[in-house]
Structure 1
């Protein structure tokens, strides 16, 4: 087993930079223009593990490695990538397996034989009878839920012992119903059964809604945290037509927002949301939207500007190409349409995955800073004539 090194980290050294980043982001949240477009690149623990020489098996299975990797990642962003990171903290990272824990699915984890296997849930709903057999768990007695929070406490202690009062995040929560169902049954079965068995799918979604509520209330009870802020990650729902979205996603999500999002509401959809923008504005009344690469930034900007702060949409796939021109065009497209007037934060749509070369990511940040200076000026764009032809 590799020896774990306590990575030195002096937060005071970066406080001035962090404060500058925070003020730039605050301007965006107030729909105002700062000195330039703020940039927050969504890179996480698996990406850091790759660039610092650890496997996913080491990262997910060893809390010491997880902490070391995340601390190194914070320093890497502040000192080398130089995006506008403003929140400094670490989190217990389990990957996207919450449904597997909560509903006792088989879970495939990276190990010595498959060190780069991402954590993965083996779908358990294969028959209609499986929906009837699925039980809403009691978080107070559920073995997997209790073990998650025991592990979170061990991680908190590790952070406390080495970094004092550095914030630690961690909460076991499933996705909202449509996406949670996608994890439990696989996307093909999800979309097929919505057409073939709508009543049975509503039965499943009601159970998933009950589970979400039970987990959220359990978290508030054991931590003393106050409800009022809710973000929903709902990739699967974005592939529903508007009609199906209104029937199968909206009612459940809206109830969750009304229960737990009185002050602040956010939505992440690494899929489509450009066909439901009026729902985001007028029904959900979102404060923040994380926009995936598949959306038309012109529609998103037209419909959300001045109403919802939004982030993302740049296609991370261009970072895998050998063309810096493609990278520049993707950046210019997002900034030209979304940045004027504030309310936009530049980022890649979805997550920046482990295969993206760090040097391409750095170029992306540097070019976005150059093009994104306020006020936005057409003469700063090298490829505007081509962008306007799309």
Structure 2
């Protein structure tokens, strides 16, 4: 089986010949270790493509994530300001929405003219042409709740879920429409088979289960239902400890839920196996960044033994990895899965 066949089999509820394995995103690590910067690549689709293909050939994960680290440009394209950093992903400097009239002044079609977003789209198509027969080549973006939080400001967003929920719901509807507008051309022309969403502000450490069910879940479902109507898989990552809401994840409709290292992987196996593919959840800092190769191997084997010996599972870090994770630790992480026959 090709890496693509392995991961798609897991997404579809089958048992592939080995444990599927992938980073989540990996943009910060790949850009840094390729010897470039996000700013340098942001207007050069050819260079971005070379970085993605070279990183894929070096790591040989089952999924290649185009646009990882560029997620904030969907908000900046509507009028925000981006701050590039020497190392790490670019930040959105300020929110765009302070009141409902600000939302009404935003134009979703503005993202079509953004140079960086168009660079990412070109790199996606070029990367798919080069390696899409063997690897899943996806494009990643923030989920609806996180886009809304970028537009409104994270702290204001959290307060407004209590004080002005009607406004938050309007911003969430806008964010969901924005996401569909971003991905629709790439779905309709056959470029994408899998969409990757990260919704970190919908974290189990920030939202209660009740808030998640009201403000995050419905909009994830709207988007993922749209993707499913186009026969597209969705890989979804939620940060933080989500053990208390694992039962809600099948209701998103996602093909696979990527779990943070804080989440109980045994509980996830108990609740999710047979209902949806789940992935995780190697600690990206304490194990992959700071740990020895032996610790990486032991941890990965423990997680696979607990959760991944009979399908419906992929080995992944519990979140995106820092840019300075040692290469030998990633090699061992991937090796454990690729040598584990099912």
Per the normalisation by structure 2, the TM-score is 0.80
Per the alignment, residue 298 of structure 1 pairs with 266
Deviation at 1:66, TM superposition (A): 1.9
Per the alignment, residue 132 of structure 1 pairs with 101
Which runs of 5 or more residues in structure 1 are unaligned? 1-18, 375-390
Aligned counterpart in structure 2 of residue 197 of structure 1, from 157, 164, 186: 164
Which runs of 5 or more residues in structure 2 are unaligned? none
Bigger Rg, structure 1 or 2: 1
Change (3 A) 1:289 1:215: same
Per the alignment, residue 247 of structure 1 pairs with 214
Check conservation: 1:103, 1:134, Cα contact below 8 A.
no
Q: 2: CA distance between counterparts of 1:325 and 1:71?
A: 28
Change (3 A) 1:62 1:243: same
Check conservation: 2:26, 2:65, Cα contact below 8 A.
no
Change (3 A) 1:155 1:251: closer
Deviation at 1:108, TM superposition (A): 1.0
Change (3 A) 1:210 1:290: same
Question: 1:371-390 residue pairs with structure 2 within 5 A?
Answer: 372-374=340-342
Secondary structure class of the residue paired with 2:32: helix
Q: Within the alignment, does 1:288 sit opposite 2:263 as a pair?
A: no
Question: 1:139-288 residue pairs with structure 2 within 5 A?
Answer: 139-140=108-109, 142=110, 144-148=111-115, 151=119, 155=123, 159=126, 175-217=142-184, 219=185, 224-225=189-190, 231-239=196-204, 240-262=207-229, 263=231, 264-281=233-250, 283-288=251-256
Check conservation: 2:78, 2:107, Cα contact below 8 A.
no
Q: Within the alignment, does 1:98 sit opposite 2:73 as a pair?
A: yes
Give the number of aligned pairs.
Answer: 333
Q: 2: CA distance between counterparts of 1:154 and 1:31?
A: 31
Specify which structure has the bigger relative contact order, considering alpha-carbon pairs within 8 angstroms and separated by 6 or more residues: 2
Q: 1: CA distance between counterparts of 2:178 and 2:129?
A: 34
Of Structure 1 and Structure 2, the greater strand share is in 2
Secondary structure class of the residue paired with 2:257: strand
Structure 1 outlier segments of 4+, above 6 Å:
168-171, 226-229
Change (3 A) 1:93 1:311: closer
Q: 2: CA distance between counterparts of 1:22 and 1:174?
A: 20
Change (3 A) 1:192 1:329: farther
Q: Within the alignment, does 1:74 sit opposite 2:56 as a pair?
A: yes
Change (3 A) 1:231 1:174: closer
Give a deviation string over 1:2-44, Cα, whole Å, max 9, x none.
xxxxxxxxxxxxxxxxx44345445534645555423223463
